[in-house]
Amino acid sequence: MAEQKFCYIKTFGCQMNEHDSEKMLEVLKSSDYYPTDNLLQADLILLNTCSIREKVEQKVYSTLGRLKGLKKKNPSLIIGVGGCMAQQEGEKLFQKVPFINIVFGTQSINKLSELVKTVEEKNNKVVDISFNGFHSLTLIPKLPQQVKAYVSIMQGCNNHCSYCVVPSVRGEERSRCKEEILQEITSLAERGVKEVTLLGQNVNSYGKDCNGRVDFPSLLSSINEIKGIERIRFITSHPKDLSPQLIYSFRELNKLCEHIHLPIQSGSSSVLKRMNRQYTREEYLDKIDKLREVSPEMSITSDIIVGFPGETEEEFLETLSVLEKVEFDDLFSFKYSDRPGVKATTLPDKVDERVKAERLWRLQNFQKKYTLMKNTKLEGKTVEILAEGLSEKDPQRLTGRTRNNKVVNFAGNIELRGCLVSVLIKRAFLHSLEGELISTLH
């Protein structure tokens, strides 16, 4: 048997990257590399990077800085940089960080074993950032007790929002074949997975590149039929592609959870225009009304960018007023960041860093009351939770989520992992809820 070697992966960025890291580990098993959480035990260290904002990139560089010493002590250690920043920088990364061995892009994951082998044998540097189409890997969970899984249904993005690097680092939209997706989910269900989260930069344009043969609502409806799967989620949706059929799916499909992440980015139509988002404030609000008509308890979360070039105080106030109108369950908010090669970088009237920081603070503070209000509404209610395992913060207790994606911690036996249980909500906090186990559903 070949010698067992260890690979340590650090992931930056979104769920696609988390899922890609799982794929990397799967690919590397074929060359006898096994996962480790111990950096010092690693023969191979991979950073799966993100380039969405400058701050994330800086984090990657500072992590690389810390690896320099390890490489000095152990020159046979192989260090690889993959993901979106690697895709963006390519060979230039070797100049910036001379001690790394491999640079591999977002579509080169299936070539990872070959790349590592080349470095092992020739002790040189390799780069692969080619766009070679869809890398399709059916993943089989490693842990027998895995309750939830990500399933990639499409890659890339054709939207070209003016601030965003994703289209350039992930390429054109490519939908994965429906049969393959259904097969993967069926095999996950057979291994005990109860909840799937469908992944894509813009899941609701799934199938647009398949000549009308398939669309997102019909994919959801087929997944709803898969035995063993109890819950379906998806991220991320683009407001312009949120069709009436998709909205009705929330009523029709019993396994589709009542939560949608629908990034608005700004509450001002003029800013949205400069962002090239292709919807107005009013159109967004109208879709929210329709979602709530179909599913009044639906939880809605969003992304917001503050300080987009030219954003005036009035435009920012329009964003605050959307928070008041929609009452989002939670919000992910960011200061606008210039990115190489994207349109917004060339726009005039950049907003001062101090103003951006102040707007972000005001926005986040304003949202807090709505997040807490939504959580508090659940106090005294009995809800369905999928028990996921022990809580990381409090290993004495179990953790799980409501159908509308709120984290609930409660006392219970670990044998309940993977079961749907009924929990009475006792207390609400900003980021989680505390509950009491009432009964096991199944």
Which parts of this chain interact with ligand SF4 (CB under 6 A)? 157, 159-161, 164, 166-167, 201-202, 238
Find residue 439's DSSP bridge partners. 422
Take residue 300 and report the two structure tokens written for it.
Answer: 């809605």
The Cα–Cα gap between 273 and 318 comes to 14
The piece of 29-37, 126-134, 164-172, 181-189 that touches ligand F3S (CB under 6 A) is 164-172
Applying CB under 6 A, among 111, 170, 261, 403 the residue interacting with ligand F3S is: 170
The Cα–Cα gap between 90 and 160 comes to 21
Q: Is 11 in the site for ligand F3S (CB under 6 A)?
A: no
Smallest CA-to-CA distance from 238 within 209, 260, 269 is with: 260
CA dihedral 386, 388, 392, 398 (to 10 degrees): 60
Task: State the minimum distance, in angstroms, from the CB of residue 207 to ligand F3S.
Answer: 20
Q: Is 18 in the site for ligand SAH (CB under 6 A)?
A: no
Smallest CA-to-CA distance from 21 within 131, 139, 178, 116 is with: 139
Q: Is 13 in the site for ligand F3S (CB under 6 A)?
A: yes
Angle at 203 between CA 197 and CA 208, to 5 degrees: 140
Complex with ligand F3S: residue 174 or 287, whichever CB lies closer: 174
- Return the DSSP state at 265: B
Take residue 320 and report the two structure tokens written for it.
Answer: 């605050």
Binding partner of residue 305 among ligand F3S, ligand SF4, ligand SAH, none, CB cut-off 5 to 8 Å per kind? ligand SAH
Complex with ligand F3S: residue 101 or 337, whichever CB lies closer: 337
All residues at 6 or more sequence positions from 8 whose CB lies less than 8 Å from its CB, including other chains? 35, 36, 37, 38, 39, 41, 42, 44, 45, 46
Q: Is 171 in the site for ligand F3S (CB under 6 A)?
A: no
Residue listed under structure tokens 């470095």: 119
Pattern of binders to ligand F3S over 37-56, x per CB under 6 A? -------------xxx----
All residues at 6 or more sequence positions from 303 whose CB lies less than 8 Å from its CB, including other chains? 261, 263, 264, 265, 331, 332, 333, 334
Q: What 3-state DSSP class applies to 91?
A: coil
Complex with ligand F3S: residue 202 or 367, whichever CB lies closer: 202
**CB 194, CB 147: distance < 8 Å:** yes
Complex with ligand SAH: residue 166 or 257, whichever CB lies closer: 166
Q: Is 78 in the site for ligand F3S (CB under 6 A)?
A: no
Q: Is 174 in the site for ligand SAH (CB under 6 A)?
A: no
The piece of 35-43, 161-169, 323-331, 356-364 that touches ligand SAH (CB under 6 A) is 161-169
Task: State the minimum distance, in angstroms, from the CB of residue 201 to ligand F3S.
Answer: 7
Q: Is 265 in the site for ligand SAH (CB under 6 A)?
A: yes
Rg of the chain (C-alpha set): 22
The piece of 165-173, 175-183, 341-349, 351-359 that touches ligand F3S (CB under 6 A) is 165-173
Applying CB under 6 A, among 201, 295, 319, 367 the residue interacting with ligand SAH is: 201
Tell me the C-alpha to C-alpha distance, in Å, between residue 47 and each of 5, 15, 24, 43, 63.
17, 15, 11, 14, 9
Binding partner of residue 334 among ligand SF4, ligand F3S, ligand SAH, none, CB cut-off 5 to 8 Å per kind? ligand SAH
Residue listed under structure tokens 């435009």: 315
Complex with ligand SAH: residue 150 or 334, whichever CB lies closer: 334
Applying CB under 6 A, among 169, 223, 344, 421 the residue interacting with ligand F3S is: 169
The piece of 144-152, 159-167, 172-180, 247-255 that touches ligand SAH (CB under 6 A) is 159-167
AA identity, residue 1: M
Angle at 101 between CA 100 and CA 102, to 5 degrees: 105
Residue 371 C-beta-side C-alpha neighbours within 13 Å: 19
Complex with ligand SAH: residue 52 or 112, whichever CB lies closer: 52
Residue nearest to ligand SAH (CB): 303
**CB 389, CB 398: distance < 8 Å:** yes
Applying CB under 6 A, among 80, 105, 156, 263 the residue interacting with ligand SAH is: 263
Residue nearest to ligand F3S (CB): 13
Catalog residues that contact ligand SAH under the rule CB under 6 A.
52-53, 163-164, 166, 201-202, 236, 238, 263, 265, 303, 305, 334, 336-337, 339
Catalog residues that contact ligand F3S under the rule CB under 6 A.
13-14, 16-17, 50-52, 83-84, 165-166, 169-170
